[in-house]
Each structure stands twice: as C-alpha cells, then as structure tokens.
Structure 1
Amino acid sequence: MADIIQLLPDNIANQIAAGEVIQRPASAVKELLENAVDAGATRIQLIVADAGKSLIQVIDNGKGMSETDARMSFERHATSKIKVIDDLFHIKTMGFRGEALASIAAVAQVEIKTRRTEDELGTFLEIENSTVKVQEPCATPEGTSISMKNLFFNVPARRNFLKTNAAELRHIIDEFIRVALAFPQIFFSLTSNGQQVFHLEAGNAKQRVLQVLGNQYAAKLVQVKEDTDYMNIYGFAGKPETARKTRGEQYFFVNNRFIKSAYLNHAVMSAYQEMIAKDSFPLYVLFIDLDPSQIDINVHPTKQEIKFEDEKIIYAFVQAAIKHALAQFSVAPSLDFSLNADIQQLESVSKPFSDDKQQSASSSSLFKSFTQKNQAHFIEPTNKSELKNWKDFFTPATTSIAPLKDFAAVNGDGLLEYERRETITQAASGQLHQPEKRETALAPDALLMQIQQTYILAPGENGFLVIHQQLAHERILYERFSVAAHGKKMASQHNLFPATLELNAADSALLLDLLPDLAALGFLIEPFGNNTFVIQGTPADMLQGNEKNAIELLIEQFKHFSSDIKFTRREKLVRCMARQQSIKAGQHLTQKEMHTLTEELFLCQTHNIALNGSPTYVAFKEDYLDRMFGK
C-alpha cells in the first residue's frame, strides 16, 4: 500500500498560514502598518480602495531594505528580530514572527518598492501566489511602498466571507486607530477611495487621542500617570459622563502594542464602580510599560492577547491608577449617582437654552423673587383666589373619562403630541396601519392612574392591569417602524434649516452603511464630505431641534446591538428607533395620553411582550385579590 503522508507545497502552506494571520483586509492593514513603524518611519500613509478588497497600500519613509532583504522578507519565518530563542522574550517591536508578508503574498498580488538611504537605486518586486514574477531595480524615494491588490483573488471562498465595504472599512479604521494611538510621534494618514479619512499630525499623546476620538472630549478626560519600579501606566480616562453603552472607545496598550484583556478591563470597571450605570462602559486610552521579560506576547496569531507573569500586580496597579486619577481631579465626589440616565435624554435637558427662553424665564415673577431685593415676604396681588374652590378637590367627579375614540372625534387630541402629526400625515398618504381590533380588559370609561410616573394602573372588567409605560410604548413604536422598514416608507418632514452633523471616522463609516435603512424610517441624511453629514429631514413624528442628538444616540444604540447576531441590521435599527423615541420611565402623562397608550398597545400584534422579553403589563384578576385578603 502506497504512503499517503506528504509535505505540503510552499504556496499551499502559506495559504493555510494566511488563514490565521490575514482574516480580512484589516488584518493586512495591521501587519503592514506595524512593519512601517518597525522600520523607523516618521510618516506613514495608508491608501485603500473598495475597503481593501482591491487595494491596500502603505507608504513610509523608514530605513528601507536592500535587494536581498526585500526578497527574503516574503519567505516564511523570515525575520530580523529573532536570532536566538532568548530574543523571543525581549521583543520590543511590533512584528517578529516572519509570517505576515509571506501570508499576504499567498493570498494577494503584491508589489513593493523599497530603498535604503545609502543606495542610489531601490528594488521593485512583484509577487503573486507566493511566486516572484518580477524583480528589478527602480527609482523610488527612501523608505518602502508596498501595495497589496485583489485580496483573496486565488481563494474565492474566503473572499465570499467578507462583509460589505462599509463594514470592512470600519474594521480597517479600527486597526488604523490602534496603531496611530500607540505612536503619536508619527504622522499617519488614511485615504479611502480617494477621500482622506484621517490626517493625524505628529504630536503628544493627548493631541493624538483628541485627533482620533474628537475634540469634544477635550474637557472630559482625566490624566492617568503612575510610575513604579515594576511598571509605568499613563494615558487618559473619561469622566463618568462619557460612559457609553458600547465598548468602542476602550484601548489598552502594553509596550505600545494594542491588546484585548477582559481581566484588565475588569480592573478599570471596578475603579468606576458606582460612578456609572452597570450596563455602561467608560472611555479609556491606557499605556502600560514594563519589562518585556514579564510578558509573553507569542500566544495569539494576531498578538492581540498576551500573558502577564503576574496578572494580579498589573490588575492592582491599573485599578489604583484609575481611582487615583478620578479622585485627583475631583470627579468622584461631585457625582449624583441617583440620577436616572434616561433623564439626560429628555427634551428639557437636551434642548438648548435659547435667548427667547432665557428672556422669558428672567421676566417671570419667580426669577425676580430670587434676584430682586426685599422679595422674601412679597406676595404678588391677584384677583383670582386660588383657594376659593378648595372644596371641589374633595368632591367626586361626576363625569367619566371619555373613550379614546370620542377624544379623537371631538378634538383630535387623543394622541401623544408627536404621534398626532404622524397620524395626520399617514392618513393623508394612505399609509396608516390599522391592525385588527381586539378586545381589551380596559373599560371605555376607566379613570387611569399613573404610579411613580412609570406605571399606568388601568381598572378592567375583572380586576386591573399594571402597564409599564416605556415598555408598552416601545412595543407600539416597534410595530409601527417595522411596517415602515419592510413596506412603505415613513413620512418625512424637511428641515427649514438643515442641521450639520460631524462624527468620528468610525461612526461616519457606520452611518454611511445605515443611510438606506434610515431613509425608509423617514431620515433624509446626505454625506457632506470629511465625516460630515447634512440632516435634510427627519421622521414626521420627531420633534424639531433635536435631530443631531437623536442620530448620535441612534448610532450609539446600534453599536450596542452590534454584538447580537440574531438580529438583522434593519431589525437592530428598528429596535433602536423604538427604544430611542419611546416615552421614558419618569415622564408624566395626562389622562388622554394614558388612554391613547393603553388602547394602541392592545392594537399591537404582540401586545403583551416587550422588545427585551419582559411583559408590557401584568394583569391582576379579582379572584387573585380575594385570595390575597383571605376571602
């Protein structure tokens, strides 16, 4: 019987290795950028086309390579960093395994131009499927320019697994940011399809953090700096108000290498304990410098996971450094932890305090009582006595609350303010969705009661219901938006003065990807270049003046859903919209609004379950109450 075990050909072995190192265009970007940093470059340019599927090019002004080194660099396990085994435990550079370029050449068409300072001519190489096609001298600036074209051209199955261009570009931006943050002294630029996404001038660490995350964080960061004999930790942590629902802006660097560590992240979270909501994540960019012999970075193909010799010491240092920074800048004592995060989204908080509102407030008698002299015992005269009808307060009401349909017929006020406009608009365009009417336990003349400004107490024919107003409204809006997202578009209202929205590069790429789906929900948003968008219109039921905050919050909530694979992109967007625009717990409702909410809830196809799986209401039957009192 013939032998069946044989050695793999080099090109196949390289493709298998590429499966570990080059998983998507962003993986190649990371390797090429790190090589440029290791070459001592002070200017690094990244150019991509079609989110890296057609082209990834990195141009640097580093020390370049000789002809022999350029050729050898594409051989598997070729490296200049390791000569003896002991070198592996003293690595201070980014790349060292000698697999990156070999892996790239196995799955793409590669061209490289490189020249050292002492050489008059550089070297040009063209490699395809691990085979050198062209090798010749060329005229080129000092440094290296490497182009990687048609990724996975010879592995079409791998190419089919790539996501949309917008999604792949977000991954490229993530890898670019991680390298750029680690080396603020180097100029970085990123150009995508001929449009510049990043232009990061060399500077200090804080300047680079603000260049990447946005200048809006200038006054929201506290400096972290602790130096010891064992390790140094420095960087920046966000004040508690910067906490988000996603982990997006969290960066750990060990010896300038970006790492992912749930253990160290827990140390940071414990330092923020009771300062932020339990489901929120703080912002931080932290750098740890320690002896390379204390860590093992050779435990992961992409080197994003490392092992510490003594994790507990690192944990304690990180936790103490964050706590000290927050206390030093008087962040902790000034916080009100009892404040509900939803309050921040209310109109009274999010809307600007305009000049006319300020003038109106300053002219009121209440304002004058605090600003003018001799006002402590002053009572403003009035012809209307507010106490003359005090007995009416104790007189039972003789008229019952009219049913919802009577309100709508008489004065059209049966809807919440922002829902009324949408109903009128949709009725005119024939888009109003009328689910099948079903019986409810709510009596038509019921007097509803709001408890803790969160729950609606609704008496029924055989007991009563306790309805959670936010969960109920989320269900109502979800079904309404679902119809719009999968059928006819929602009505939009054009803004008289279009608002301009500026985002960071990662959020800009995400919003570009969401524009078609947002259009179906009534948002009219147009790209304006350089990570800027113009909001031309919003859904008919959205209050004017709050468009920018609404879209920023929508993006943040969408990223919160991004880790959940059971929802499609449009489904995530619909759920985010419903959660964002729903009335929140703590908001006072009138009788009309409570009736509207209750009636519309029972018109929903799934009226008893909220989006998160919780019940929208709990029914208490009469026999249950009897049993509670032993009858």
Structure 2
Amino acid sequence: MSSIIQLLPDHVANQIAAGEVVQRPASVVKELLENAVDARATDIKLIIKDAGKALVQVIDNGLGMSVTDARLCFERHATSKIRQAEDLFSLHTKGFRGEALASIAAIAHVEMKTKQDQEELGTHIIVEGSKFVSQEVAVLPKGTSFAVKNLFFNIPARRNFLKSDTVEYRHVIDEFHRVALAHSNIHFTFYHNGSEMFNLPPSTLRQRIVNIFSGKTNEKLVPVQEETEIVSIQGFVSKPEFAKKNRGEQFFFVNDRFIKSGYLHHAVMAAYDGILKDGAQPSYFLYLTVPPNTIDINIHPTKTEIKFDDEHALYAILRASIKHSLGQFNVAPVLDFDRDSNLDTPYHYKDLTGETPTIQVDGNFNPFSEEKPSKQFSSYRKPEPTANWESLYVGLKQDTDEIGQMTFENEEVTSSLFNDEEVEHSVHKTYQIHKKYIVSSIKSGMVIVDQQRAHQRVLYEQFLVNMTVHQASSQQLLFPLNLFYSSSEMELIAELQLSLRNTGFIFEENNTDHIVISGIPVNVTESEVSLVLEQLLSDLQDGIPESSFSQNDTIAKSMAKSLAVKTGTHLTEKEQENLVNGLFACKDPNVSPFHKPTFITMRVEDLDKKFAI
C-alpha cells in the first residue's frame, strides 16, 4: 500500500504560507516598509500602481545586503533577527516572520536591487513564482529596492477575492500611516499612480501627526506623558469636542510597533467617561514603551495583537494618565467643593464699577398733611402733556360698537362649543408616547409608529428621488462652510461629490485638506452638515460601491440616518400628523431603509381580548 502522507514541494508550501502572510497588497506594503525600517534607512519611498495590484515598490537607503544575504532572504524561515528560540521574547525590531519574502516571491514577480555602502557593486535578482529567473552584478546606489509586480498572478482565485482599487488603496494608506507614525525620524514619500500623496520629512511626533492628517489636527491634540516602572506612555489624545463617529484615527504603538487592543481602547474610553457624546470616538496616538520580556508578540500572524504580563496595571496607568492630561489642559470638567458658586460675579457685571448710593431727605415732608408734597424724590418722571389730546378719542364710539358686536358673535360661537361635530373636531388625531412612538387611530383599531424609523424611511425616499431625478433644491449659505478632513477622507468626498450635488450640496472649491460648501439641502441645517458628512464617511469606511445606484442608495441611507428625528424628541401634534402621513405616502412604508419595521397595528378585537377575563 502506498504512503498517504508526503512532503509538499517548496513552491506549494510557500503559496500556502502566503495565504497567511499576504492577504492583500497592503500586506506586502507592511512587510517591505518594516524591512526598510529594520535596515536603518533614513529615507524610504513607497511607490504603488493600481492600489498595489500592479506594483508595490519600496526603495530605501539602508544597510543593503551582501550577495549571499540577497539570495538567502527568499528562503523559508530566513531571518536576520532570530538566532535561538529565546530571542522571540526579546525582539527590539519588527516582528519575526521568516516566510515573508519567500511567500511574496511565491505569488508575484519580484525584482530586488541591493548594495552595501562599502561595496562597489550591488546585486540584482529577479524571482517569479518562487523561481529564480536571474541574478547578476549591477551598479546600484546604497540601499535596497524591492519591486513586487502582478500580485497573485498564479493564484487567480485569490486575485478575484481582492476588493476594488478604492478599498485596497485605503488599506495601503492605513499600513503606511502605521509605519510612518511609528518612526517620525525617517523621511517617508508615497506615490500612487505617479502622483505624490505624502511627503513626510523627519520631524517631531506632533508634527508628523499633523503632516499626515492635515487639517486642524494640531489644535485637536492634548499631550499625554507618564513615566512608571511598568510602562512609559507618551503621545496625544484629541479634545472631546473633536470626537468623531468612526474609529479611524486611533493608534496604539508598543515599542514602536502598531497594535490593536480592545482592552487598552476601553481604558481610553473610560478616561473620557462623562465628557463624550453617545457613540462618539476620540482620536488618540499613544506610544507605550515596555520591557520586551513582558510582552508576547507572537500570538497573532500579523503581529497586530500582543499579550501583556500585567494588563490590569497597564489599564489603570493608561486611564489615569489620559484623565490627568484632559484635566490638566482644562478639557475635562473639574469640581472644586470648597468654592461657593453663589459668590461668583455674573459675567456681565464683572467689569462694572459699583455706584455709591446717595440719600435725599425732604425736611418739609409732613405725613399728616392733607396736601401732597411739592417735590417728588422717586425715580418716576411725570409724562408731559400730549398736544391735541382730543384726537385720541376720535372714532371711539364706533370702535366700541364693533367690539360689542364682536363679543356678541363670540358668545354665539361659544354656545355651540358642546355640539357633537365640534367635540369630534377637537379630539387629537395622534398621540406621542415616551417621545418615541406615535399612536393614531384607524378604522380597525390603532397604529403605533416608531418615529425615528418612520422619519428615516421618509427622508430616504426623498433623497433617493432627488439623486435619481436630479431635481434637488438647495439653500444658499450667507457664509460658506470650511470643513477640514484628512487626505484619505478628502479622496472619498471627491469621489462622492457628484452624488452629493444631486442631494443639494454645493461645493465651491476643494483643497488638499478642506472643502468649501456654499449651499446645502433644504432639509439640512448648517450645524448638521459636518455631522452628515462625518456619518457618511463612517458608513463608507469599507469602500464606495461600484454602481451608481448602490452609491446613491448608500448615501441616501447614511443621510437619512443622520437627519432623522431621534428617540426622545418631542413632536407637536402637527409634526406627528405630517410624519404619519409622510410615512404612508412612501412606496414601502412597512420597513425602514435598514429593514426594520416602522409601525405595528392593533385591532379592536386584540384589545378586547386583553380585557377579557
């Protein structure tokens, strides 16, 4: 009987390993950038085409590699960081992953050029699908250049699973941000399809954050600094008023390595407890330095999750340090129990000087005299006699007759107050319960409407019609709005501008870090514009749909969710009636845009059963 178990060929093993290491072009970007950082480069260039599907190239001026190292780096389990198993627990460089370059070379065309500073000539190697095509000597500058072309060329199924260029480009941007933020002392340049997207010179940490996210980032940041035996914390958190709905600008770095930690995120949110709106997410850029032997970085294939020895102490220190910074910079409210607020001077009296009161006494005043005093000392001033006072009474009798006639008519009206028709007319048609539901009577019983979901449905269909028919009306703003966003958010807004114009937005100009809006839809207030766009950007984090209908549908849903009346809002009787009438005028009034029921009905028979005993 033949053997069932057999060893896989190297190229097949590399392709299987690539499935774990290389999931998308952003994975290649991460590997090559980290290798460039470990090579002690001071200048790193990232060049991509078609969101990395056609080309990912990283050029650095680091140490370079010898001829032997250049060949060995494409072998499995090849690394410059590990000599023995104990080294896994004391890593000071980027994460150990011996299959990285071997996996990349197994599923792409790789061209590597490298040269050490002390050597006169460098090495030029071409690998295609784990096969070495050529290796030759070449005249090259100091450093290393990796060009990865045609990713997943030999695995069509994996290539078909890649998302659109917009989505893949955003993943590449995220990886670039993580490496660039971790190393502010390195000059990074990023090119996409021949256009320069980022040029980040060496700078301080604060300046690096501002250069990446642009806009008014600088005024949003509050510094955090803490030194303990367990951990050293430095970085920045955002002021509560600049919190967003999405979790885009949230970064944890442990020993200059980007990580994701729900536990540490909870510590940050606990520090903001009581000063954030519901659902708001603060931005933070926090750098933690801990002894390497107190963490385990090998619990996740991509090294984005790590294990701490003493998580509870780290949680408490992080929460306390952020809370202290927010209070120190007068961001969080501070209570002073020794101060009596009743003694505070009101603002409009703060700069006024007090007037000394004067006393005037009438020596001739006799309280028992029947004659009135000749001089008044009160502040009352007797009005001057009006000229032609007789004209004030002209037509008085005619007006009096009309008033009497009107009063008589009113008496006739009030006499019919208790007629059946009038009583029926005065009954409320709708009622609001707990500022959440609207109850209205129908022939068979009553209908109970969820006001928020109903308004979402009404707004959703309105926006969809406006975008489809292109007949949206706008209201002109007296002063244009300047809204600042990061570079990635600006690209999203640029792609959505045509659809947003169809809803009623008017854009005057687009700059690199902000947009200028001069007109907004008629059912959007000026204060709601930033909230609407912020919610839209949050909903499109995973990318913009390809088809125009899907784009319009997504935008209409997002704007309806932002602008719909919320639970807890009091509605007048007229507003309740308009909302109910608007709901049942919709094409599909039964469900909200998010497929939740908008109303339920209760028949009189159902109510009778409730009372039947």
TM over 0.5, shorter chain: yes
Q: How many residues align?
A: 541
| Separation of aligned partners in 1, 2:145 and 2:518 | 42
Contact 1:245 1:556 in 2 (8 A): no
- 8 Å CA contact retained: 1:174, 1:506: no
Worse-superposed segment, 151-160 or 600-609: 600-609
- Aligned partner of 1:183 in structure 2 is 183
Distance 2:315 2:4 in 1: 51
Residue 562 of structure 1 and its aligned partner are, at CA, apart by 7.9
What displacement does 1:153 show?
0.8
CA contact 1:535–1:547 (8 Å) conserved in 2:
no
- Is 1:552 equivalent to 2:527 in the alignment? no
1:506 corresponds to 2:478: no
On the 8 A contact 2:57/2:146 being kept in 1, the answer is yes
Query: Residue 16 and residue 627 in structure 1: after superposition, are their counterparts in 2 closer, same or farther (change >3 A)?
Result: closer
Q: 1:170, 1:509 within 8 Å by CA — same for their partners in 2? A: no
1:313 correspondence with 2:294: no
1:119-518 equivalence runs, <5 A: 119-333=119-333, 469-483=451-465, 488-491=469-472, 502-512=484-494, 514=496, 518=500
Gap change, CA 1:138 and 1:247, over 3 Å in 2: same
1:595 matched to 2:549: no
C-alpha distance in structure 1 between counterparts of 2:262 and 2:205, whole Å:
24
Match of 2:100 in 1: 100
- Residue 558 of structure 1 aligns with an amino acid whose one-letter code is D
SS in 2 for 1:188: strand
1:581 is matched with: 563
Secondary structure, counterpart of 1:234 in structure 2: strand
| Cα deviation 1:108-144 (Å, max 9, x = unaligned) | 1111111111112221111111111121122222111
Residues 51, 165 of structure 2: 8 Å contact kept: yes
- Work out the CA distance in 1 between the residues paired with 2:226 and 2:272: 18
Whether the 8 Å contact between 1:51 and 1:192 is mirrored in structure 2 is: yes
Partner amino acid, structure 2, of 1:472: A
How far apart, in 2, do the equivalents of 1:443 and 1:257 lie? Answer: 71
- Which AA in structure 1 matches 2:580? T
Equivalents in 2 of 1:311, 1:462: separation in Å? 60
What SS is found at the alignment partner of 1:12? helix
Q: 2:343 is matched with which residue? A: none
Distance 2:219 2:537 in 1: 21
Q: What is the deviation of 1:369?
A: 12
What is the alpha-carbon distance in structure 1 between the residues aligned to residue 87 and residue 552 of structure 2? 50
- 1:553–1:131 CA distance, 2 compared to 1 (3 A): same
Once the two structures are TM-superposed, the CA of residue 37 in structure 1 deviates from its matched residue by 0.6
CA contact (8 A) 1:167 1:510 kept: no
- The answer on whether the counterparts of 1:557 and 1:576 sit within 8 Å (CA) in structure 2 is no
Map of 2:420 onto structure 1: none
Please state whether the residue corresponding to 2:216 is helix, strand or coil: helix
**Cα separation, 1, equivalents of 2:273 and 2:484:** 32
- Following superposition, the deviation at residue 493 of structure 1 comes to 5.1
Moved more, 239-248 or 6-15: 239-248
Would the aligned equivalents of 1:525 and 1:534 in 2 still touch at CA under 8 Å? yes
Q: In terms of mean alpha carbon deviation, does 287-296 or 503-512 score higher?
A: 503-512
Deviates more, 1:120-129 or 1:595-604: 595-604
Aligned to 1:421: none
SS in 1 for 2:58: strand
Give the structure 2 partner of residue 11 of structure 1. Answer: 11
Aligned partner of 2:177: which letter?
Answer: I
1:600 partner letter:
G
| 1:176 Cα deviation after fit | 0.5
Determine the C-alpha separation between the residues in 2 that align with 1:111 and 1:536.
Answer: 50
Contact kept in structure 2, 1:114 and 1:123, CA below 8 Å: yes
TM-score (norm 1): 0.74
CA, structure 1 residues 19+372, in 2 after alignment: closer, same or farther (shift >3 Å)?
same
Q: Match of 2:162, as an amino acid?
A: L
Q: Is the 8 A contact 1:517 1:570 kept in 2?
A: yes
Q: Quick one: distance in 2 between partners of 1:330 and 1:533?
A: 30
Name the CA shift for 1:261/1:191 in 2 (closer, same or farther; >3 Å). same
Pick closer, same or farther for the CA change 1:454–1:309 going to 2, 3 Å: closer
Tell me the amino acid that sits aligned with residue 141 of structure 1.
P
Find the aligned partners of 1:483 and 1:222 in 2 and give their Cα distance: 44
Identity across the alignment (%): 46
Kept after mapping to 1: 8 A contact 2:114/2:143: yes
**SS of equivalent residue, structure 2 residue 219:** coil
Q: Please name the residue that 2:50 is paired with.
A: 50
**1:444–1:72 CA distance, 2 compared to 1 (3 A):** farther
Q: Residues 30 and 175 of structure 1 are in contact (CA less than 8 Å); yes or no, is this contact kept in structure 2?
A: yes
Report the CA distance between 1:183 and its aligned residue.
0.8
Output the CA distance in 1 between the equivalents of 2:96 and 2:332: 43
Is 2:97 aligned against 1:116? Answer: no
Name the structure 1 match of 2:364: none
Deviation at 1:155, TM superposition (A): 0.9
| CA displacement 1:284-338 (0-9 Å, x = unmatched) | 1111101111111112111111111222222222222222222222322169xxx
Q: Deviations over 1:187-236 (max 9, x none)?
A: 11211111222121211111112222334232222211111122211111
- Coordinate RMSD, CA, aligned: 4.3
The offset of 1:581, in angstroms, is 3.0
Larger radius of gyration: 2
Deviations 1:603-625 (A, max 9, x none): 22443554567665677888999
Are residues 146 and 87 of structure 1, via their aligned partners in 2, closer, same or farther at CA, if it must alter by over 3 Å?
same
1:351 maps to what in 2? none
Q: CA deviation at 1:573?
A: 2.7
8 Å Cα contact 1:46/1:59 also seen in 2: yes
SS of 1:218's equivalent? Answer: helix
Give the deviation of 1:502 after TM superposition.
Answer: 4.8
Q: What residue identity is the alignment partner of 2:456? A: E
Deviations 1:454-494 (A, max 9, x none): 77675666877675544432121123334566x54553659
Mapped partners of 2:286, 2:107: distance in 1: 35
Give the residue type in structure 1 aligned to 2:115: R
CA contact (8 A) 2:167 2:543 kept: no
Q: Any conservation in 1 of the 2:439–2:447 contact (CA below 8 Å)? A: yes
Cα 1:547–1:452, aligned 2, differ >3 Å: closer, same or farther?
Answer: closer
Equivalent residue of 2:64, what SS?
coil
- How much does 1:82 deviate? 0.8
- Relative distance call for 1:551 and 1:59 in structure 2 (3 A) is farther
Post-superposition CA distance 1:136-168 (Å, at most 9, x none): 122222111111111111111111000010010
- Is the CA contact (8 Å cut-off) linking 1:35 and 1:95 kept in structure 2? no
Relative to structure 1, the CA distance from residue 521 to residue 549 in structure 2 (aligned partners, 3 Å threshold; closer, same or farther) is: same
Distance 1:480 1:451 in 2: 26
1:102 counterpart letter in structure 2: A
